[in-house]
Amino acid sequence: MVGFDHRMLRRDVSRVAASISWNDSVPALATKAVLADEGELTAHGALAVTTGIYTGRSVRDKFIVEDELTRERVWWDNSAAMSTADFDRLLADCIAALAGRTLHGQDLAAGADPRHAMAVTVFTETAWHALFIRNLLIRPQAPGGAADVTILHLPGFRTDPERHGTRSETVIALDMSRNLVIIAGTAYAGEIKKSVFSLFNFHAPMRDVLPMHCSANIGPAGDVALFFGLSGTGKTTLSNDPARPLIGDDEHGWTEDGVFNLEGGCYAKTVKLSATAEPEIHAATQSFGTVLENLVLDDRKRPLYDDISLTENTRAAYPLETLPKVAASGTGGVPGTVVFLTADAFGVLPPIAKLTPEQAVYHFLSGYTAKIAGTERGVTEPVATFSACFGAPFMPLHPSVYGRLLEQRLRTSGASTYLLNTGWSGGGYGTGGRRIDIASTRRLLNAALSGALKNAPMRIDPIFGLAVPLAVTGVEPQLLEPRRTWADPQAYDAAAQKLLALFKENFRKFGTVAVNEAAE
């Protein structure tokens, strides 16, 4: 911002590069990607690509430029700093490296609400990355205007740590003052998407907009619901509902008068994807122009969703209109229901609980789920995972900034907030517990969305202080009281106290931010 001329940078890049293909269509980009041997078409016309050694985000290689705007605002405990001089040197070297190169340029937008939209120009070396970001951001009817954000994406460029102030030959560097992003040394496409989200998350609170890492959908009566949750909690699955059009899959803003999607597409995980359990997403992976990341194909060019030989983080990137039920405007009114999803592998949290605004802020700042044995090397028992605001790596400001905005929105809107546990019951993972069945989870969610739980009789959980409904239609009463599902109640008490202690320990890093009474 602060008056940076993105048009001049556009001219500099255009002057150095041999040529730039501007705003190619999906068919053109898919064709160019195949001809350049960047990927191959599946039997259904999706583009299958691999990303090399980086099959996920390179968290330790992400930097934010420290300057007058960011010095007192950024949560530096969560972000690595880069000097303006190092960034400028890196930018100059990247532009020089474009000499004689053919690039792909896309003029896109982030933010379905025009009052808060950002015009985004992406330069990239490869057609498939241009297709990826074209699928995921909003495609304006008249591209080519002045940009608010410029992203230079050069997966083939290697940085010099001594010269550029980087940790390795890979870098994701964000200049928040000028809204410039440099991504180099990694082909993982998610870095492009998340850099846009990180920029939005920095600027939005200063405009009284709450940025959110969540899904959103809208009911028949116009009722909007938000779904927060870390990987593996069911966010994408539960928000894709044939009866409730999807506003967006992953990134949103909440203003005083409603919510808006930041994106124009979905970046869905595809590991163990099932046509039965997730028919809409499964169908999207078989659409022409969808980008499939690191999915192995069989000899008939069909995706093998259970094959994780390249990575468990297999992905599909497709436009929202690929789905059968979407909110065309990408916007919705003020949310009436907010759902925090967790997959509690300790098996001690209730399957659903109604939260007070204070409890909602506490669980929002905690961002809890649990990894299970077998998901990572060396993990032999459940491991608590906390990610502030359900997306700490993309939140440049201190979590309390977002927490205060959330509390304000909840109190003003009167939205009901629920903690929905899609994890284990009857014991922890690997100790006799079983994952809560999806049918019960959907009944619990539907009860929350319908308003049936708003004034329902509740009990207060003696350990976590949560309000738990006494009964939900179609759900076994015993499931609503986790201690009753355990063969050994004392073992439940010990596991519950252990998780409560982990919550308290995690929350200490937020300093003087108000602590939920349930953790007192």
- For the segment 196-231, what is each residue's pLDDT rounded down to a tens digit? 999 999 999 999 999 999 999 999 999 999 999 998
C-beta of residue 235 within 8 angstroms of C-beta of residue 229: yes
Lowest mean pLDDT among 155-164, 168-177, 241-250, 425-434: 425-434
Instruction: Sheet containing 315-319: give its strands across.
Output: 40-41, 47-49, 291-293, 315-319, 265-269
Cα distances (angstroms) measured from residue 145 to each of 131, 181, 461 = 20, 19, 55
pLDDT band at 278 (very low <50, low <70, confident <90, very high): confident
Q: Of 323, 447, 314, 429, nearest to 380 (Cα)?
A: 429
17 and 121 assigned to the same domain: yes
Region 278-291: mean pLDDT is 94
Rounded Cα distance, 179 and 455, in Å: 46
Please indicate whether residue 278 or residue 355 has the higher confidence score (pLDDT).
355
The pLDDT value given to residue 516? 38
Region 260-266: mean pLDDT is 97
- For the segment 41-53, what is each residue's pLDDT rounded down to a tens digit? 999 999 999 999 9
What CATH number is given to the structural domain containing 308? 2.170.8.10
- For the segment 303-316, what is each residue's pLDDT rounded down to a tens digit? 999 999 999 999 99
List the alpha helices (DSSP H) in 352-431: 357-366, 399-413
244 and 217 assigned to the same domain: yes
The pLDDT value given to residue 432? 84
371 and 463 assigned to the same domain: yes
Asked whether the predicted pLDDT for residue 515 surpasses 80, the reply is no
**Position 46 in a domain:** no
The pLDDT value given to residue 484? 95
The range of the structural domain enclosing residue 344 comes to 210-255+334-519
**Position 52 in a domain:** no
**Position 71 in a domain:** yes
What CATH number is given to the structural domain containing 498? 3.90.228.20
pLDDT band at 129 (very low <50, low <70, confident <90, very high): very high
Cβ atoms within 10 Å, residue 447: 21
- For the segment 4-22, what is each residue's pLDDT rounded down to a tens digit? 899 999 999 999 999 999 9
246 and 131 assigned to the same domain: no
**Position 43 in a domain:** no
Cβ atoms within 10 Å, residue 243: 10
pTM surpassing 0.85?
Answer: yes
Asked whether the predicted pLDDT for residue 377 surpasses 70, the reply is no
Region 352-364: mean pLDDT is 97
**Position 47 in a domain:** no
Burial 167-195 (b: 16+ CB within 10 A, else e): eeebbbbbbbbbbbbbbbbbbbbbbbbbb
Rounded Cα distance, 141 and 468, in Å: 48
**Position 340 in a domain:** yes
The pLDDT value given to residue 380? 53
CA contacts within 13 A on the Cβ side of 440:
21
Region 44-64: mean pLDDT is 96
Asked whether the predicted pLDDT for residue 520 surpasses 50, the reply is no
81 and 145 assigned to the same domain: yes
What CATH number is given to the structural domain containing 131? 3.40.449.10
Rounded Cα distance, 424 and 71, in Å: 43
Region 346-363: mean pLDDT is 96
List the alpha helices (DSSP H) in 374-450: 399-413, 438-450
Active site residues: 57, 194, 213, 231, 235-236, 250, 315
Residue 16 φ then ψ, to 5°: -85, -45
pLDDT band at 431 (very low <50, low <70, confident <90, very high): confident
What is the DSSP code string of 71-82? TTTB-GGGSEEE
For the chain, how many structural domains are there in total? 3
382 and 283 assigned to the same domain: no
pLDDT band at 79 (very low <50, low <70, confident <90, very high): very high
- For the segment 148-167, what is each residue's pLDDT rounded down to a tens digit? 999 999 999 999 999 999 99
Rounded Cα distance, 180 and 367, in Å: 29
116 and 182 assigned to the same domain: yes
Cβ atoms within 10 Å, residue 156: 11
- Tell me the two tokens of residue 90: 């890196």
428 and 497 assigned to the same domain: yes
176 and 234 assigned to the same domain: no
The pLDDT value given to residue 142? 78
- Tell me the two tokens of residue 101: 């190169």
286 and 271 assigned to the same domain: yes
Domain boundary among 322, 348, 370: 322
356 and 491 assigned to the same domain: yes
**Position 182 in a domain:** yes
Asked whether the predicted pLDDT for residue 351 surpasses 60, the reply is yes
14 and 143 assigned to the same domain: yes
The pLDDT value given to residue 511? 66
**Position 251 in a domain:** yes
Number of H helices, E strands in the chain: 13, 28
Asked whether the predicted pLDDT for residue 364 surpasses 70, the reply is yes
Q: Of 363, 361, 420, nearest to 386 (Cα)?
A: 363
Cα distances (angstroms) measured from residue 494 to each of 18, 351, 433, 490 = 66, 19, 15, 6
Adjacent-strand bridge partners of 99: 17
